[in-house]
Amino acid sequence: MIYNADVLVAGLGPAGAAAAAAAAQGGLSVIGVDRRHEIGIPVQCAEFIPLPMGKYAKAEGVLYQHIEGMKSFLPSGAVAETEFPGLMINRAAFDQAIAAQARQHGADLRLGSRLTSLDKDTSTATIATVGGEITVKYKVLIAADGPHSTVAEALGLPELETVSTRQYTVPLLREYADTDIWLSADYPGGYAWLFPKGKWANLGLGLDKRFADDMKIPLDALHRQLIAQGLVGNEITYRTGGAIPVGGLREQLVVDNIMFTGDAAGLTHPITGAGIAAAVISGERAGGAAVALLARQDQDALADFEEDVRDQFEVAVSRAVERRRWLDQYWKTEAAQTDDLHRKGWIAFPDYFLA
């Protein structure tokens, strides 16, 4: 079966759903595909969004609680407390709410549908669906297919550098409005976190892949420590993990009539691992650029998309890439046990922003 669409969106996480919503709202015909059978499930996220993203968290069932601050624990035991306003969200409900908007605007979203190959010259994609293979002929393709982008692979673009993560959801035994962050030689190339969501918390860690052979060992150790402190319970109700891009933006965000967004574009912050806001913003921009190109014949629209996204994200992401590289030489040395090193390597400290 062959379908024609103004815009094909590959991947319906926050980037793809936002792109589909913006393109469909602008009057374009949109087909969105995701290999998952339910949007946002399984959740692979610590579920924190910065406060300005709150307008996307208004649908019923999305908001868990408000966050006020961040506590950053250093190797010596010193703790830095900083303001860090944000929201804890039900990530599946968040993604589903954006996808629902795309559908309301008329986007045709197909689940259980995996983009398997691409013919760039004819702007044709092959999609494996539960009902068999379909072909989609598009005018614009928006790649929102996450850190291991199939679109990028089909174009022969390099794999993004990623870190590995592991996370448990555990009972939280008292009210908590901070995100806790542990910086330590035990978490080389990453950090550990506790993000509260009412009576539960997401407890996880990210590690450089070279040191991520068995992430269960450090995560279980932290879990036991917090049980001993009376902060969390023993039970583990959910286990997840996933890859986080940490190598910075792709060299090109636009290849002919294809735009890269969100994790597929490498927009995730390489130090904090936060990527939801960048995914939504870049997705909306890509959808808007497709409208500008196809409905208003603005031939510069895709180049403008690339320029706008770089203007907004490149400075912060590049600084974080540079910090990662700098930190990299000290993992597994004594310096990794010092507070000083982590003050230069973590966004809560002014030292992080010094040249």
The answer to the question of residue 262 lying near ligand FAD (CB under 6 A) is yes
CA angle (289 as vertex; 284, 295 as ends), nearest 5: 120
Q: Which residues contact 131 (CB under 8 A, 6 or more apart)?
A: none
In the complex, the smallest distance separating the C-beta of residue 35 from ligand FAD, rounded to whole angstroms, is 4
The answer to the question of residue 99 lying near ligand FAD (CB under 6 A) is no
Residue 229 structure tokens: 């402190």
> CA of 327: how far to CAs of 28, 307, 324, 342, in Å?
46, 29, 5, 9
In the complex, the smallest distance separating the C-beta of residue 274 from ligand FAD, rounded to whole angstroms, is 4
- For the chain, count helices (H), then strands (E): 8, 16
In the complex, the smallest distance separating the C-beta of residue 34 from ligand FAD, rounded to whole angstroms, is 4
Instruction: State how far the Cα of 152 lies from the Cα of 262, in Å rounded to an integer.
Output: 13
Question: Is the distance from CB of 177 to CB of 336 less than 8 angstroms?
Answer: no
Question: Is the distance from CB of 57 to CB of 84 less than 8 angstroms?
Answer: no
Binding segment for ligand FAD among 10-18, 20-28, 56-64, 339-347 (CB under 6 A)?
Answer: 10-18
The answer to the question of residue 102 lying near ligand FAD (CB under 6 A) is no
> CA of 130: how far to CAs of 11, 127, 215, 226, 231, in Å?
16, 10, 34, 44, 45
Q: Tell me whether residue 11 or residue 26 sits nearer to ligand FAD (CB atom).
A: 11
Number of amino acids touching ligand FAD (CB under 6 A): 38
Binding segment for ligand FAD among 14-22, 98-106, 228-236, 251-259 (CB under 6 A)?
Answer: 14-22
In the complex, the smallest distance separating the C-beta of residue 95 from ligand FAD, rounded to whole angstroms, is 7
Show the site string, 129-168: x = touches ligand FAD by CB under 6 A, - = not. ---------------xxx---x--------------x-x-
In the complex, the smallest distance separating the C-beta of residue 338 from ligand FAD, rounded to whole angstroms, is 27
Beta strands (DSSP E) in the chain are 2-10, 30-33, 48-50, 63-73, 79-89, 108-110, 114-119, 124-129, 132-143, 162-171, 178-182, 191-197, 200-207, 238-245, 254-255, 258-260
Question: Is the distance from CB of 283 to CB of 261 less than 8 angstroms?
Answer: yes
Instruction: State how far the Cα of 81 lies from the Cα of 34, in Å rounded to an integer.
Output: 40
- Which one among 15, 30, 152, 203 touches ligand FAD, defined by CB under 6 A? 15
> CA of 203: how far to CAs of 79, 169, 235, 302, in Å?
18, 6, 12, 39
In the complex, the smallest distance separating the C-beta of residue 18 from ligand FAD, rounded to whole angstroms, is 8
Q: Tell me whether residue 37 or residue 224 sits nearer to ligand FAD (CB atom).
A: 37
- Which one among 26, 273, 287, 288 touches ligand FAD, defined by CB under 6 A? 273
The answer to the question of residue 179 lying near ligand FAD (CB under 6 A) is no
- Which one among 279, 320, 321, 327 touches ligand FAD, defined by CB under 6 A? 279
In the complex, the smallest distance separating the C-beta of residue 50 from ligand FAD, rounded to whole angstroms, is 8
Binding segment for ligand FAD among 66-74, 210-218, 259-267, 301-309 (CB under 6 A)?
Answer: 259-267
In the complex, the smallest distance separating the C-beta of residue 268 from ligand FAD, rounded to whole angstroms, is 4
Phi, psi of 124 (to 5 degrees): -130, 135
In the complex, the smallest distance separating the C-beta of residue 15 from ligand FAD, rounded to whole angstroms, is 3
Binding segment for ligand FAD among 4-12, 63-71, 181-189, 304-312 (CB under 6 A)?
Answer: 4-12
- Which one among 114, 137, 139, 310 touches ligand FAD, defined by CB under 6 A? 114
Instruction: State how far the Cα of 353 lies from the Cα of 2, in Å rounded to an integer.
Output: 51
In the complex, the smallest distance separating the C-beta of residue 219 from ligand FAD, rounded to whole angstroms, is 11
- 217-229: string of b/e by CB count within 10 Å (b at 16+)? ebbeebbeebeee
Axis crossing angle, helix 301-328 with helix 276-294, rounded to the nearest 10: 160
The answer to the question of residue 46 lying near ligand FAD (CB under 6 A) is yes
Residues lying near ligand FAD in the complex (CB under 6 A): 10-16, 33-36, 44-49, 114-115, 144-146, 150, 165, 167, 204, 241-242, 244, 262-264, 268, 273-276, 279
